[in-house]
Each structure stands twice: as structure tokens, then as C-alpha cells.
Amino acid sequence: MNARILIVCSEAVPLVKTGGLADVITSLARALRRRGLDATVMMPGYPAALDQARNLEEAGVLADLPGGPGRLLSGTMPEHDVPVLLLCTPGFARRTGNPYVDECGQEFADNAQCFGTLAHAVVAVCGGATALAPPHVVHANDWHAGLVPALLRLKRIGEIGTLFTIHNLAFQGNFPLDCAAGLGIPPAMLGPDGLEFWGRLSFLKAGIRYADCISTVSHSYAAEILTPRFGHGMDGLLNERKRDLLAIRNGVDTDTWNPAGDALIARPFSPTDMRGKSVCKRELQALFNLPPDPFAPILAVGSRITHQKMADVAQASLPTVLQRYPRAQLIVLGCGDHAYEQGFARLAQDFPGRVAAHIGYDEKRAHALHAGADMLLHGSRFEPFGLTPLYSMRYGTIPIASRVGGIIDTIADARLSGPPPQGASGILFDGEDADSMTTAVSRAFALYENPGEWHAMQRNAMSADFSWSQPAEQYAAAYRGIAAQAVKELFAVRPEAPEVDIPAYKTA
Ligand code: ADP
């Protein structure tokens, strides 16, 4: 028998993705399976997920869910054969675009009911209401799955260990308290030592409060979230649960983000043969209708365009940068808050032939951006891990990033003056003001002018190891820690195998 882990989440590549969480879920499941752990992803059956998942078959009808009956389909992810359970409900069927907000950026009115329903479906699987073998451990991720540990406690399903991972504390899933009854949450659980959070019902708090163990995705963020500045109001509770809080960093899917074998880029390249990068640069300029200048330093911005990602600060800083470096080009790829999106569109109008902005979500353009740019500007007011700068580093694109959260743990700072220390792989800056950002970008341009220093940084960036080996083993150890005594030995990891060698999550 293999250890069974049910990874509950709202998004997973390639089925649905709005941010780094989706990348992390699929690569974690793959990494666990390669080590002999039977990891299955359970998530909403959004239309896009149903379209792409393979081998779908009915795994059960769940009559007793808050949003009415739901169907559970089991299948596999395309490409990697990671087993997936998709919960189909009318609410999820309506989510044809972004799963959380409508076209105007307004949160869907039924988010609480939809994700509450997902949690109830997980509890039904755990309680044996379907023919599926219940998991030994449930790994719930972010607020979307926050009710799972609380409901398992409520239903007294105590033999299944629960790990709750915080990928971003800012997204909390807070709703009016009066939705509790419809979600099957009794008044006794609605006090301040339960799910109540500033007069609302918080899914995130439910996860933090009731999971056996909590984790977050970098050491620095784990320390930061215990402070009022980064705690988003949860620091008190997190301090109470500090002994159960683990830091397990994310990994990078090194197959997908691999300059030597990336089918989405114009020409492959590697640290020992960088010729392809020049071709990628030319292609990037063509893709964004910028002049094909091989000597123009290209600064990229590629992320959600939000306050968290310092879009406001970038828009205050970048005109100065563009005036100071007349040959530089700026390429923006992203979407998010409409006002900030318009700000970047205006910047492109103000600097024709030098700035291009694609407002939208586009995986192919993201690969082209990382491969063809010279630098990536990644400001963040807080950053749980920060996958995007690590992707850029894989392609020798040097990150200029805020010294917060996971960034501190992953980018070796070249510092703002003097020769870059050995091993430097990026430039970090402090503060949330335009001057600090401009100074850091100027430092990057200065280093770019010195090919010896720049190439050394590129080599460091490209060879940094952020594979899933270490985090997968740490997750396995965490699962073992919370699993019932009788099944703990199942969580001993096997040496990594290239292919899945365990049967998919099926009946017992
Ligand atoms: P976060 O999860 O806070 O958004 P991360 O940097 O950890 O930040 O992960 C973001 C992920 O989303 C990365 O895979 C990044 O490449 C991707 N991404 C963000 N915006 C876009 C976009 N507009 N088009 C394509 N990929 C994007």
C-alpha cells in the first residue's frame, strides 16, 4: 500500500492557473509521486479543467453538499498523469474565466458557497462516502481549502492528518458570518477562537486554526507572517500556532522552465552556449513590435499587475529609467487591477517604440519574455516565495527584486555598489518608493555595461538549484508527522523514479 495524500486546491497547471499556486500544486504532486507517494489533486471542475483533464470517469455523486448535489469525476492531468478529482457543481460550471472574480474584477457572490462545497466534498471522500479509498493525509492549500480541516474536526474524522499551506496570507476568503449556517458551520465554531475574524467568517483562519500542521512557502515569509507588518491580521493566531508552523520552500518545474529544451522559445540555449538567447531577444522584440536592436537592454515586467507587485511604484519609477537610459526597452506582460493596467498602457503610448505592454494572461509570451529579456523588474510589497524571478533566472535574465519573503532566500544580491559578490544572481532593493526602485534598476544597467560581471551573474542565476527534491522530501516528512501512527511508515520516501510507478488514486 502507498501513502495516499489528497492535495486540495483551487488551481493547478495546466487545468487552471491565475498565479504561482497552480504551478506549485502540479509540480508538488509529480514530485511526490516520483518518490512513491500516492498524491492526488482535488479541485473544482471548472469548464477549463473538464476540457483538459484526461480519462474522466464518474467517481461518485455527493447528494449532501451546501450548493446542492455535486458529481465527482476522477481522471488525470494531461501530460503528467497526476490523478485529479474534479468536483462538478453548477457554481463551478459558471466559472469560465477567472475562478474568483468577474470581468469587472468583482468577487463572485457565491465564492463562499462554492469553496465551502468543495470542502464538504473533500470531507465526504475522507469519510468514505464514495468508493474512493480515503486519504491518509489531506493537504489543504490557501483559503479555498481552508474549511477542510475545520469540517474534518467537526465531523470527528480524526484519523486523517491535515496540513494547511499558506501560499499567500493576503487572500483570506472572508465572508459575512451569516453564511455559516448554509455551509454547515455551527454557531459554536463562530467565536474568536473559531472561524470569526473581525466580524466575518474566514476560510483562511479556519485552515490555520484547525489543521494539525501549517506550512508556508519560504523561511523568510514564515518569519515575516508572525509580525504585524506582514501578518495581515493573522499574526496573533499564527504566533499561537508557531510550534506547528513549517517553512517548506517551493520548487521550480525544471522541465517546463528549461532554456535548453523549451518548445515555447525561439531557440534553445544553456549556460555554456548562450547564442540562442540573442535569437530569443530578437524574437521578443518582434513579438512586441519593438525595433530589433540587439544592444538595447530589455527590462521586463511579468506578473499580476497589482498593489502587491508594486505596479504603482513601477509606474512612478519607469519614466525616469527610460529617460535616463535612452536605448533601453521595456516590455510588460500581465493583468490585474484595471487602473494599473491602464497605467502601463499609457506608458507604452508615452514611449512609442521603446515600451510595449500586453495586458492579459499568456503562457507562451511569458516564456518568450523570460528567454528574451535581459532583466526582470519584480517589485513586491510582500512575496511568499516568488516563482517568477526564479523562472527568469533559469533563462539568464537577471532579477531586480524587493528584499522581502522568499526573494531573500532565493536571490543572491549583487548589492547597489562595488563589484558584485561571488555567486550574485540578482539585485535586491528595500523600500516601496520609486527612488529605491530606480536606483536598483540603474545598478542593473551599470552591471549590464560590464560583460564580465554580467555573464558571471547570468551563470550564477542559471545554475541556482531550486528543484523539487528537497521540498518534496520535507513535505513527505511533514505528512509522516501528522499521519496516524499505524500508517506512518508508508511515508518513507523512495529514491526518485523518472516515471510514475504507482497506481492512480482509486478504490481501496
Ligand atoms: P504570484 O503567485 O504572487 O502571482 P509568483 O511569481 O509566485 O507570483 O507566480 C506567478 C506565476 O504566474 C508565474 O508562473 C508567472 O509566470 C505567472 N504569470 C503571472 N502573470 C502572468 C501573465 N500575464 N501571463 C502569463 N503568466 C503569468
For residue 9, give the amino acid letter: C
> Tens-digit pLDDT profile for the chain (508 aa)?
899 999 999 999 999 999 899 999 999 999 999 999 999 999 999 999 999 999 999 999 999 899 889 999 999 999 888 999 999 999 999 999 999 998 888 999 999 999 999 999 999 999 999 999 999 999 999 999 999 999 999 999 989 999 999 999 999 999 999 999 999 999 999 999 999 999 999 999 999 999 999 999 999 999 999 999 999 999 999 999 999 999 999 999 999 999 999 999 999 999 999 999 999 999 999 999 999 999 999 999 999 999 999 999 999 999 999 999 999 999 999 999 999 999 999 999 999 999 999 999 999 999 999 999 999 999 999 999 999 999 999 999 999 999 999 999 999 999 999 999 999 999 999 999 999 999 999 999 999 999 999 999 999 999 999 999 999 999 999 999 999 999 999 998 878 876 555 545 454 4
- Which protein residue's CA is at the shortest distance from atom 12 of ligand 1? 19
Tens digits of per-residue pLDDT, 376-410?
A: 999 999 999 999 999 999 999 999 999 999 999 99
So what's the pLDDT on residue 499? 52
- Which protein residue's CA is at the shortest distance from atom 17 of ligand 1? 19
Pocket-testing residue among 304, 307, 376, ligand 1, by greatest number of atoms within 8 A of Cβ: 304
Q: Helix axis angle, 363-372 relative to 275-287, nearest 10°? A: 130
Ligand 1 centroid distance, CA of 508 (Å): 37
Q: Which of 389, 408, 395 is nearest to 458 (CA)?
A: 395
Share of the chain above pLDDT 70, in %: 98
Ligand 1 centroid distance, CA of 17 (Å): 9
Ligand 1 centroid distance, CA of 488 (Å): 36
CA 2 to chain centre: 27
Ligand 1 centroid distance, CA of 345 (Å): 19
So what's the pLDDT on residue 493? 81
Q: Which of 488, 484, 475, 486 is nearest to 34 (CA)?
A: 475
Q: Cell digits for 448?
A: 549590464
Residue environment code for 452-486, b if the CB has 16+ CB neighbours within 10 A, otherwise e: ebbebbbebbbebebebeebbbebbebbbbbbeee
Entry pTM: 0.95
- Which protein residue's CA is at the shortest distance from atom 19 of ligand 1? 303
Atom of ligand 1 nearest to the CA of 308: 3
Q: Helix axis angle, 20-34 relative to 387-394, nearest 10°? A: 70
Pocket-testing residue among 18, 142, 387, 392, ligand 1, by greatest number of atoms within 8 A of Cβ: 387
Give the CA distances from residue 151 to residues 147, 162, 228, 328, in Å, rounded to whole numbers and listed in that order. 6, 11, 28, 54
For residue 133, give the amino acid letter: A
Ligand 1 centroid distance, CA of 167 (Å): 13
Ligand 1 centroid distance, CA of 20 (Å): 5
Tens digits of per-residue pLDDT, 437-465?
A: 999 999 999 999 999 999 999 999 999 99
Atom of ligand 1 nearest to the CA of 333: 23
